[in-house]
Structure 1
Amino acid sequence: MRESVIEKALVKEAKSRGGMAVKFVSPGFDGVPDRLVLLPGGKCAFVELKTPGKKLRPLQEKRKHQLETLGFSVYVIDGLEQIGGVLHGIQTT
């Protein structure tokens, strides 16, 4: 399964819950997560999408740790079956 398929499903499911999963690009600051998920009630988290079985690159691990140290939630999704649980986790934190 391609990463783009998982990404499209995340965007669709976030929208169905009244939110957005916006593409996150930060020029000059490589390794940031792919999407910023914004849900009703001011809930937000970063999401990195991966092809099934793929791991984060070292720079992505570093950025994930930096964001989590600042108090942000960062999720990694590598399968369609994870989307609902991740969005539920964002909504309930």
Structure 2
Amino acid sequence: MNEKLIERKLREGVKALGGLALKFSSPYHRGVPDRIVLMPGGRMYFVELKTTGKKPTLLQQKAIGELRELGFDARVIDNQESLNLFLEEIK
């Protein structure tokens, strides 16, 4: 499954659950995850989306690690199964 399709399904799934999946970019901090998912109750997740079988770059891995060290929930989603699990978890 390609990244664009996973991204669309993420946006639609999050919206159906009453949340937002906002595009995230930081010009001065490269490698940040693609989306910030905001859910009712103040829950927030950072999500890096990849084509099935692809792995985050070293820069992306570093950014995800930094977010996790700060206590944020940062995920990598690269297939339908991991997307379904994520959506079920944030429901």
> Structure 1: how far apart are the matches of 2:62 and 2:90?
21
Question: Structure 1 residue 50 and structure 2 residue 50: aligned?
Answer: yes
Answer yes or no: is the 8 Å Cα contact 1:44–1:90 preserved in 2. Answer: no
Unaligned 5+ segments in structure 2 are: none
Kindly tell me: are residues 82 and 48 of structure 1, through their superposed partners in 2, closer, same or farther at Cα, counting changes over 3 Å? same
> Structure 2: how far apart are the matches of 1:52 and 1:84?
14
Question: Structure 1 residue 26 and structure 2 residue 26: aligned?
Answer: yes
> Structure 2: how far apart are the matches of 1:54 and 1:22?
22
Provide the TM-score with structure 1 as the length reference: 0.92
1:51, distance to aligned residue in structure 2 (A)? 0.3
Q: Which residue of 2 aligns with 1:70?
A: 70
1:48, distance to aligned residue in structure 2 (A)? 0.2
- How do 1:81-92 residues align onto structure 2 when only pairs under 5 Å count? 81-91=81-91
Unaligned 5+ segments in structure 1 are: none
Provide, for residues 30-76 of structure 1, a one-character-per-residue CA deviation record: whole Å limited to 9, x for no partner.
Answer: 10000000011111110000000001100111001100000000010
Q: Which of 76-85 and 41-50 deviates more?
A: 76-85
> Structure 1: how far apart are the matches of 2:80 and 2:73?
19
> Structure 2: how far apart are the matches of 1:84 and 1:39?
16
Count matched residues. 91
> Structure 2: how far apart are the matches of 1:26 and 1:90?
25
1:84, distance to aligned residue in structure 2 (A)? 2.6
Superposed CA RMSD in Å reads: 1.1
Identity %: 49
1:82, distance to aligned residue in structure 2 (A)? 1.8
